[in-house]
Amino acid sequence: MMSYNGGGRTLDREDESAEAARRAPRRALDEARLRQQAIGVKLRQMFDRVVNEPVPDEFLDILRRHDENAKGGDDS
Amino acid sequence: MTVKAGAATGGADPAMEGRFKRELVALIPHLRAFARTLTGDQASADDLAQDALMKAWDARASYQMGTNMKAWTFMILRNQFYSEKRRSWRQTQLDQDAAERTLVAVDDPQSPVALDELRLGLGMLPAEQREALILVGAGGFAYEEAAEICGCAVGTVKSRVSRARRALQGILETGAYDRDGRSASDAMNSILAAAEHLGQAR
């Protein structure tokens, strides 16, 4: 499992708490952004799965049939 | 370059028609995908996509070659969907049933759980938010194109998309979509797990 490690920097104690205070809201923001990104990825995946399905023959059949009908002058 | 008006019957330019047809055929997979998100189940989605395909073919004289055919066909499909929907109220009930059937029907071991939950979550959004989010978030349309497809202002699309995003996240996090007793946080967690590499890549 992958996990986020805070970048591995070494800071002295004061810097650390100041840094933590600064980071808290930013982390929440990052988290929200990450969640939205994740949903976006899934959304595209869901859509692309159908896009990548083989097209049923009837789609091309009806287009062909329709085309022939039109040529036969029966374009109602 | 435009298709001559009245070219649909009889004296159409065969080269132009051939090109139109090729481009239209290439869009079929996308039309099927969009239809699936509107109807929620495969059978009625394919019916809808086929109707839209016919409508697009019949209207080929009014299509301006070189403009965005994908947006044009999506608009036809969407109009077809809503005009059918107006004709039958049954459809609104079908939406819900179809979403549940889809959950049961998808028995693909490759299919991540989260996709079905996402589908159910999408099903809970108001239709206009769902379609806006799908067009922009999955269909790859710019806000302007989505606005044209939906026949509304660009700002309206933007606000629908952002409301849809927020609502969907809320649904997935609280498990409000839940119908089968699965634990509430599963959906968001599995979606997050799948996207962890995204966070790493940034």
- What the block records as the tokens of B70 is 């994908």
Q: Does B28 touch chain A (CB under 8 A)?
A: yes
Residue appearing with tokens 């499909």? B77
Query: Contact, A39 vs B168, CB < 8 A?
Result: yes
The closest alpha carbon to B80, from B126, B40, B31, B119, belongs to B31
Neighbours of B68 (CB within 10 A): 15
* Cβ within 8 Å of residue A36, ≥6 positions away: B165, B169
Q: Which residues of B touch A52 (CB under 8 A)?
A: 29
Least confident interval from A29-38, B3-12, B124-133: B3-12
User: Cα–Cα–Cα angle for A31, A33, A39, nearest 5°?
Assistant: 105
| SS3 state of residue B73 | helix
Between CA B157 and CA B147 the distance in angstroms is 6
What predicted TM-score, i.e. pTM, was given to this entire model?
Answer: 0.72
Q: Which residues of B touch A40 (CB under 8 A)?
A: 137
Q: Does B160 touch chain A (CB under 8 A)?
A: no
Confidence of residue B123 (pLDDT cuts 50, 70, 90): confident
Nearest to B169 among A39, A41, A67 (CB): A39
| SS3 state of residue A73 | coil
| SS3 state of residue A75 | coil
ipTM surpasses cut 0.90 = no
Least confident interval from A62-71, B30-39, B85-94: B85-94
- What the block records as the tokens of A54 is 């083989």
Tell whether the model's pLDDT for residue B132 goes beyond 60: yes
DSSP class of residue B61 equals G
